[in-house]
Amino acid sequence: MFVTFEGIDGSGKTTLLQALAKQRQGTKICLTREPGDSMLGKRLRAIVLDAKTQLDARAELFLFLADRAQHVAELVRPALARGEIVFCDRYTDSTLAYQGAARGLDQETLLALNRLASHGLEPDLTFLLDLPVAMAQERMRQRKLEQEGRFDGYDASFHEAVRQGFLDLAKRFASRFSVLDASLPLKDLVSAADTVLSARLGIDD
C-alpha cells in the first residue's frame, strides 16, 4: 500500500508520519520523502531548497519531476513489490499545490506530467494535514526553521494558495484523500490517521 502525506510547510507531516510508523512496529514500512530519498534526489534537493538559487518556475518543476521519476523507480516501486507499506512525505499533490495553485502553472498539464514522472503510480491513500497558515508559521518560528529553505521564506499569501490548492485536490480526488485537522494534539492526530489506515488495510481494530 502506498500512502502519501501532504500539507503546507509546518503542518507536521513528518512528525505524524514517523509517529504513525512507530505505532505500527512489526509491519514492514518504508519511510521516504520527496524531494530527496534517491541518490539523484539528494543532489536535487540541495538545489531546489537552496535559498540562494534563483529558479524559474518551470525549471523548478522539472527538477521536482526528475526527482520523482528516479525516486519511484529506485525506491517506491521496489518497496511495494517487496510487499512493504510505503509512507512518502510529499508526492504528486505537492507539485499540483506548489507549482500549480501557488506558482500558477496549468493544473491539467501538471497532472499529465505527474503521470509521466510517477510512472503512473498513484497513492492508495493521501493524508492531508490541514492547518491555518498563521499556525503553521508560528510552529516554524518556534522550531527556528523559517530561514531554512526557499519555500519557507515565501509570504503568507503563497502558503494560503498552497493550502487552498491542497483542499481543492482533496475535493477532486475525495476517494483517496483523508483530510486531518493538523491543529489537534499529536496523540489525537496519530489515532485519527491510524483509524483511517486500518480501515484501508482492511484491519478492524
Binding site for ligand TYD (CB under 6 A): 9, 14, 34-35, 49, 64, 89-90, 94-95, 98-99, 149, 151
* In the complex, minimum distance from the CB of residue 28 to ligand TYD, in angstroms, rounded to a whole number: 24
Report residue 172: phi and psi, to 5°.
Answer: -70, -40
Rounded to whole angstroms, the Cα distance separating 176 from 170 reads: 8
When the beta carbons of 105 and 190 are compared against ligand TYD, the nearer one is 105
**b vs e for 81-91, b when ≥16 Cβ sit within 10 Å of the residue's Cβ?**
eeebbbbbbbb
When the beta carbons of 179 and 201 are compared against ligand TYD, the nearer one is 179
Joined grid coordinates for residue 150: 526557499
Rounded to whole angstroms, the Cα distance separating 40 from 45 reads: 9
* In the complex, minimum distance from the CB of residue 99 to ligand TYD, in angstroms, rounded to a whole number: 6
Rounded to whole angstroms, the Cα distance separating 201 from 99 reads: 32
When the beta carbons of 132 and 149 are compared against ligand TYD, the nearer one is 149
When the beta carbons of 32 and 178 are compared against ligand TYD, the nearer one is 32
* In the complex, minimum distance from the CB of residue 95 to ligand TYD, in angstroms, rounded to a whole number: 4
* In the complex, minimum distance from the CB of residue 204 to ligand TYD, in angstroms, rounded to a whole number: 32
Distance linking the first and last C-alpha atoms of the chain: 18
What residue has cell string 512525505? 89
* In the complex, minimum distance from the CB of residue 108 to ligand TYD, in angstroms, rounded to a whole number: 16
Rounded to whole angstroms, the Cα distance separating 177 from 170 reads: 5
Number of Cβ within a 10 Å radius of residue 12: 21
Contacts of 112 (CB under 8 A, 6+ apart): none
When the beta carbons of 95 and 178 are compared against ligand TYD, the nearer one is 95
